[in-house]
Amino acid sequence: MGDSGDDKKAGRPDLHTIKIALDALLPENRAEEGARTAAMTAIAGAASGKVFFLDRPDSVIGRADDAQIKLLDEGISRTHARIQRTGDEYTVIDLQSTNGTFVNGARISAPTVLHEGDCINLGARAVLQFELRSKLEESFQQRLYELATRDGLTGALNRRSFDERFIAEWAWSSRHSQPCIFCMFDIDLFKNVNDEHGHQAGDYVLSEVSLVTQELLRKEDIFARYGGEEFVVLTRATSAADGESLAERIRSGIEQHVFIYNGVQIKVTASFGVAISIDPVIASPSQLVAHADAALYRAKREGRNRVVIAT
């Protein structure tokens, strides 16, 4: 099996060429080019590439779970700033954030009218750009974001996107003295699936495992394809016992799921390694990964199809 599809390929057309091709395929959307919608595009930070459409009278930017524009970068306040719409005019208002809100490099102290192309800097790394987009541009940008952040086969986050989210979650956990759980698992004897049933069957198994897993996760949990047949789950504010319970539910869900490809049932199980960030011997994200990886190796060595907690 190949990797998650992040490899750059020679001869790939540039984005302008892709958009021209998309225009040609969707002529029914040309009549809508005149109608434009305001949006904020993240051009730097953990959410880089994501588009937030300003389809309500005001939208709060911040780390809070109910923020309309949720950013998890270091230095972002829970309610950092607000984008307010009055008629066709949009203004940005700083909400007494700790580190301030900057428009085109200048810190603002009063409501500031936004013009197309203006950049809003928040925290240490996050940058949002104010834009007006047509419906075609909206769907095109959303598709680009999905292609850039998701694994094409399984729909899980790809490795690059997960690594960016991981850094933000680690910072949050450290700042709030809350534990996060890192769960790493892979499909047992996956090479046998490919050898006995073919690589298309292997792709089917990977996509089904992803579906089973996502049905068992909370909205705030982070799930990614880490590479090949290996997946990871990161959960915030989760105890070791709850992390072990979640891993066991996923393991059981995979074991009990019926995998049938071309009329043939394929037996699929997975092994899990779980580590918790507040372990006193863990001081960095890489160490958290290493401990979960060691626990996964133990699960394989001890007979597979089991959950092992890092010790």
Alpha carbons within 13 A on the beta-carbon side of 288: 25
- The candidate with the shortest Cα–Cα distance to 185, out of 265, 65, 268, is 268
In the set 137, 169, 208, 229, the catalytic residue is 229
Beta bridge partners of residue 257, listed in sequence order = none
- Cα(169)–Cα(23) distance, integer angstroms: 38
Q: What's the length of the chain?
A: 311
Query: Is-catalytic flag, 229?
Result: yes
With a CB cutoff of 8 Å and minimum separation 6, the contacts of 263 are none
Tokens of 182: 């890192």
- Cα(287)–Cα(281) distance, integer angstroms: 8
Tokens of 76: 């972002």
Do 4 and 151 contact (CB within 8 A), yes or no? yes
Cite the active site residues. Answer: 229
